[in-house]
Amino acid sequence: MTDTRTPRAMPAAAPVKQSAPPRAGRLRRARSVTVPAAVLLVLALLPYSAVEIPVLLDGPVNSPGSLQLFALCLVFGALALGYDLMFGRTGLLSFGHALYIAGGAYGTQLAMAELGLGLLPAALLTLVLGTVAALVLGAISLRTLALGGVGFAMVTLAFAQAGAIWVERNPGGLTGGEEGLPLYTDGVPAALVGVQNTVHIYWLALAYLALVATVVWIATARPVGRVWQGIRDNEQRVAVLGRSPFAYKLGAFTLASALALLGGVLHLLVTAGATPHTSTSEFTLTLLVMAVLGGSGTRWGPIVGGVLFTYLDQRLGGWNLGVEPMLILGALFVIAVYAAPGGITALGRRRSS
Amino acid sequence: MDTLVLLTLTGLGLGALYFLIASGLALIFGLMDVLNFAHGAFLTVAGYTAWRTAETVGGVPGLLLAAVVGTVTGLALAVVVELVLIRRLYGRVREQILVTVGLSLAIPAAVQTVWGADARTFPVPDALSGTVGVLGARVPVNRFLLIAVAVLVLFGVQLFLTRTRYGLIVRAGVEDRAMVTALGIDVTRAFTLVFALGGALAGLAGVLGGIYFGSLSPHQGTSLLIFAFVVVIIGGLGSIPGVALSALSVGLVQQYANYYAGGYGDLAVIILLAAVVLARPKAGTDSPLLRLRRALTAPRAQSAGGTA
């Protein structure tokens, strides 16, 4: 059985940054702060614009409908980036990420509705319990790497499926089954409830994306990120150098899961409810597709992929094309694997250089 | 007693269905390292073409024709996917898996576009919709049909693998692809063959799944696929008898737990999986099931070595 994590099978490895001359390095470092800061500023000011963009948007940019769409796009951009911490950075093909997203959404909802907690304590409790669960399940799942990367993929899928079954079964009327649950608004601050407050939700989603990007970018730039990259490219080499690949992989898994749990809370707030779709294996697969579509293992790729995919997924249905959005998106993805092996962001880079 | 008989036979029927799905997956994975996520989608499409055929023709001849149409649909779909998509990514396992992931999203959506999201009733002729008395239990006839087909397929696949030249190449390719290629044998041909075989098995499973559940929906194949994945992990990757054994245990555990543990059969299967994963002590060592299988198949491997 050959290793599925062969270097040539990797989607366009990130260029080695240390080899650049010092001045270019300083320039790059300056750019690496100014570009995200500029993007963040533009996105933060977006709700002050009332521009109408026909076809692309139903209402003006600052209408609640558009802002809700943007917020959803940002949340998925962040979720895809968090997922890529495992897939693109560490080479762990997990099919169970949905478990932690659904866990964040349902956990927070249930902690508010059943325990009477406020949004913040409920989210915090979910985050702590969920991260402990991720640590345990991650440790179990990583043992199956003896079967090759695919064993890990399938075991994470199976654990996530247990969560999906639990949600669908609606035990004790807790999860609402196929209907899902409407957001328990009593626990949520008034500034985050109602259509007129969509702008606050949007800013919260933006803050979440900024947080995930900061955590992922800083972590991957630090020594731990180099070890992850080493594991991705050649795990044996890392083991020979005296680092325990298991601990680093578990670290990547747990960090990604914690970010996903928080993402679940955001998904709950943006969609104003816990939807069973977040627990399905298809949900994880779409995150994988987003990361690869945009450019896995790169800074911006997963974000671009997540935003674009979510936008199309939401809007294609409204354009009356007579087909399911997922048919177009799935086919688009298959084409992208051949036409843009490094993702959309790599395509732009190739053209500009 | 009669409940136990009914549960056992239903569990065996479900296990038979899992075996049909999982055996195709295991063959493809064993030879090509490709985790075929589109397998469930093949199953769904085959189920729908079979449903259309059975609706149009009707009766037992309709069902027989539907079985043929479904199997051929799965086979044709798999061959097209292998030739057009998978082959181009030769040696790039990760991209190959990603392509099948894309298909697993697109194909059910295509099915939903054509036939709608609602579940369709699969027409089962009267001869198969009744029950038979076994030790006081009224067991649906279709359970026996599934078990019989699965046993036939198990023997057919084993005969193909052990008695034909192509089977030999496939088995050798599963063991050591690089060596087979070095001997000057065209492994890509074997890839197409195995993909076709897997597709045909998925197609047949689509038809039988329609009969077993009595209905079809666009995402049914995908949800069945997940249990097939579980079966493949428990059974050991790339071994047909191991997959058969684990398919039976998963089917039985699911049915027993559904009845005796208040409908939590699906969760019981996941717990079984976790137990098996934990029982496998360390990297490089085998699962208890694999060791048992090796003990059972060791003498035959010797005689096969003598004739080859």
pLDDT, tens digit, 9 for 90 and up, residues A177-198:
888 888 888 888 888 887 888 8
Q: Give the least confident one: A153-162, B118-127, B215-224.
A: B118-127
pTM higher than 0.90, yes or no?
A: no
- How many Cα neighbours within 13 Å face the side chain of B216? 32
**By the 8 A CB rule, do B270 and A155 touch?**
no
* pLDDT tens column, A126-152: 999 999 999 999 988 887 665 556 778
Which pLDDT does position A62 carry in this prediction?
82
Residue pair B79/B199 in contact (Cβ under 8 Å)? The answer is yes
Which run of H or E residues covers position A182?
A: strand A181-182
- Return the SS3 of A189: coil
User: Residue A273: in which H helix or E strand, if any?
Assistant: strand A273-274
Q: Is B246 on the interface with A (CB under 8 A)?
A: no
Does residue B15 surpass a pLDDT of 70? Answer: yes
Give me the residues paired with residue A60 across strands. Answer: A52
CB contact under 8 A, B285 and A146: yes
Domains and CATH numbers, chain A: 64-316+323-343 (1.10.3470)
Q: Report the pLDDT value the prediction gives residue B125, as an integer from 0 to 100.
A: 77
Model confidence at B101: pLDDT above 60: yes
Residue in A272, A273, A344 with CA at minimum distance from that of residue A80: A344
When pLDDT is averaged across residues A89-117 and rounded to a whole number, the result is 92
The amino acid occupying position B5 is: V
Contacts of B238 in chain A (CB under 8 A): 1
Q: Is B229 on the interface with A (CB under 8 A)?
A: yes
Q: How high does pLDDT run on average in chain B?
A: 83
Question: Which residues are paired to B137 by β-bridges?
Answer: B134
Would you list the domain boundaries of chain B?
Answer: 2-298
Closest CA to B253 of B235, B234, B266: B266
**Per DSSP, what are the bridge partners of residue B215?**
B121
Name the pLDDT band for A353 (thresholds 50, 70, 90): very low
User: Cβ neighbours of residue A116 under 8 Å, at least 6 residues apart?
Assistant: A187
pLDDT at A153 over 80: yes
What number is the average pLDDT over the span B19-39? 86
What's the topology of domain B2-298?
ABC transporter involved in vitamin B12 uptake, BtuC (1.10.3470)
Could you say which residues from 2 to 21 on chain A have a Cβ atom under 8 Å away from some Cβ of chain B? 2, 4-6, 8-11
With a CB cutoff of 8 Å and minimum separation 6, the contacts of A41 are none
Contact B182/A at CB under 8 A: no
| Angle (CA) B135 B140 B142, round 5° | 125
Q: Which of B94, B107, B270 is facing A158, going by the closest CB pair?
A: B270
Give residue B70's pLDDT band: very low, low, confident or very high (50, 70, 90).
very high
How far apart, in whole angstroms, are the C-alpha atoms of residue A347 and residue A56? 23
From first CA to last CA, the distance across chain A in angstroms is: 39
Spacing of C-alpha A164 from chain mean position: 18
Cα-Cα-Cα-Cα torsion A214, A219, A221, A223, nearest 10 degrees, comes to: 160
- Interior angle at CA A63, CA A61 and CA A64, nearest 5: 125
Angle between helices A301-316 and A344-352 (to 10 degrees): 120
CA distance A145 to chain B (A): 7
In this predicted model, what pLDDT tens digit does every residue of A58-77 receive, in sequence order?
778 888 888 999 999 999 99
Q: In chain B, which residues have their Cβ closer than 8 Å to the Cβ of A285?
A: 37, 101, 104-105
Question: Shortest CB distance from B113 goes to which of A157, A282, A324?
Answer: A324
Residue B291's pLDDT is 61
User: Quick one: pLDDT at residue B238?
Assistant: 64
Of A154, A326, A341, the CB nearest to B233: A154
Q: What is the pLDDT of residue A144?
A: 66
CB contacts under 8 A, A 28-87 vs B, are: none
Better-predicted residue by pLDDT, B134 or B270? B270
Q: What are phi and psi of B132, to 5 degrees?
A: -125, 145
Residues A206, A212: Cα–Cα separation, whole Å: 10
A112-151 residues touching B, CB cutoff 8 A: 140, 143-148, 150-151
What SS3 state is found at A174? coil
Is residue A282 a contact partner of residue B106, using CB atoms and an 8 Å limit? no
User: What residues 313-332 of chain A have any CB closer than 8 A to a CB of chain B?
Assistant: 322-327, 329-331
CA pair distance A329, B101, nearest whole angstrom: 12
Percent of chain B with pLDDT over 90: 24
Mean pLDDT on B56-80: 90
What mean pLDDT is reported for chain A? 84
Q: What is the pLDDT of residues A270-290, one digit of tens each?
A: 998 899 999 988 899 999 999
What is the average per-residue pLDDT within B23-36? Answer: 84
Instruction: Compute the Cα dihedral for A284, A61, A345, A325 and give only its sign.
Output: positive
Residue A17 has a pLDDT of 46
Least confident range from A294-308, B164-178, B219-233: namely: B164-178
How far is the C-alpha of B262 from the C-alpha of B278, rounded, in Å? 25
